[in-house]
Amino acid sequence: MSLSYRQPGVVLTDRRFAVPLDHADPGGETIELYAREVVASDKAGQDLPWLLYLQGGPGFGANRFVGRQAWLDRALKEYRVLLLDQRGTGSSTPATRQTLPLRGGPVEQADYLARFRADSIVRDCEAIRPEVTGGAPWTVLGQSFGGFCAVSYLSLAPEGLATAVVTGGLPSLHAHADDVYRAAYPRIERKVTAHYARYPQDVERARRIADHLLTHDVVLPNGYRFTAEAFQSLGLMLGMSDGSHRLHLLLEDAFVRTPAGPEPADAFLEQAMGLLSYASYPLYALVHETIYGQSARPTAWAAERIRAEFPQFDAAKALAGDAPVLFTGETIHPWMFDADPALRPLRETAEVLAARTDWTPLYDPARLAANEVPVAAAVYHDDMYVDTAHSLETARAVRGLRTWVTDEFEHDGLRTGAPRVLDRLLALTRDEA
């Protein structure tokens, strides 16, 4: 039975669905999906069109809004919204160090996780759509990786879509993971350079922290091994609108005087732990590079391998001279599965996934070229997480897709620019802008 309840201005209903683990075997094992239906209080009894929200990631559950926050307020003016926890995330059947051993060993776990990509997510959506909408097509809003899923939706099941809206998530249709990260590291460096230009005092602070971590064994309260590479990975936040400011605030009180001399402050270590741990979303680390797997060529820890082509990211080399220590970004590395207690039991599983050679295509260029679904996409200029050139190439390959290219927002423009971002994109799909 579905449970409905209220928050300010909205009526919420918890929805749960059983879907096949493998959509090629519809009579086989099932997993559970959770979704939260949201409708404006004054429209609760109305027959409204549906908007399906696909969260970024991979590996994150849908936003847990309170009331009509962010873009949701604009959506609720005309839609009934379904906030879907994609398979393995949020309140859907979980995939973690605690649950994955139920599948067997690393090979069996990797086989299971290979079914957690965009193509399976799209088929999940199509499996639940008849129950949710009565069979009517719905509008999909895809943020970041959710946009990747939306492009897969246009490739695999466009008949299920009335409209598609993408924010910061037009993927390359063809690029291998190597190509993705080869394009990413220069963007990351630009973001770091901009951060140091804004906060020049952070150059020396970051060098001091990195030097300490290179010369001391530091373990965070949860058992995370805090290395210089782990510290550099905090640059992940630089792709968000407030990320540079948050990084600055993190660095400014990193050390405290003790009888034994300066040491990393407990408060700094506690904050770093919260930012570095994958305990809440291990799927992100496990399947991140699989979203770029589309052929017999393995991803093979692409971010780690390609980083070697950019020696300026080597903290030890930077400290040997007078260069700034560069932070990194949305990259997953083998050392994370040694450093993080939430990932350590899954190291062999990650290795099996990295070596996998039977990835199938996630997009259909021919079908996209013949697209008839109204589509609009916000492309953020110099987006840290999704390459702008790749996005624009894809935009040209999807028939009828209209873009809004802007440098007003970072990757989180849907959140920080709401309701303007969603309003503008919906207008584009309707030829009203």
Under a CB-based contact definition with an 8 Å cutoff, are residues 371 and 154 in contact?
Answer: yes
- Residues 44-69 pLDDT 10s: 999 999 999 999 999 999 999 999 99
- Residues 354-374 pLDDT 10s: 999 999 999 999 999 999 999
pLDDT recorded at residue 193: 98
Residue 175 has pLDDT above 70, yes or no: yes
CATH code for residues 3-173+363-429 = 3.40.50.1820
Residue 1 has pLDDT above 70, yes or no: no
CA distance 82 to 47: 14
Residue 21 has pLDDT above 70, yes or no: yes
Query: Mean pLDDT across the stretch 227-252?
Result: 98
CA distance 60 to 366: 30
Q: Which of 47, 322, 358, 431 is catalytic?
A: 358
Under a CB-based contact definition with an 8 Å cutoff, are residues 110 and 353 in contact?
Answer: yes
Collect all residues with Cβ–Cβ distance below 8 Å to 420 and sequence separation of at least 6. Answer: none
Residue 172 has pLDDT above 80, yes or no: yes
Domain boundaries, the chain: 3-173+363-429, 177-355
Q: Which of 176, 288, 333, 411 is catalytic?
A: 411
The residue assigned the tokens 């290979």 is 114
pTM: 0.97
- Residues 317-326 pLDDT 10s: 999 999 999 9
Q: Which residues pair with 378 in a beta bridge?
A: 167, 404
- Residues 380-422 pLDDT 10s: 999 999 999 999 999 999 999 999 999 999 999 999 998 999 9
Q: Which of 92, 144, 172, 244 is catalytic?
A: 144
- Residues 256-272 pLDDT 10s: 999 999 999 999 999 99
Q: What is the CA radius of gyration of the chain?
A: 22
Residue 2 has pLDDT above 90, yes or no: no
Q: Which residues pair with 138 in a beta bridge?
A: 161
Residue 433 has pLDDT above 90, yes or no: no
Is 176 catalytic? The answer is no
pLDDT recorded at residue 3: 85
pLDDT recorded at residue 367: 98
The residue assigned the tokens 């776990």 is 109
The two tokens of residue 383 are 């987006």
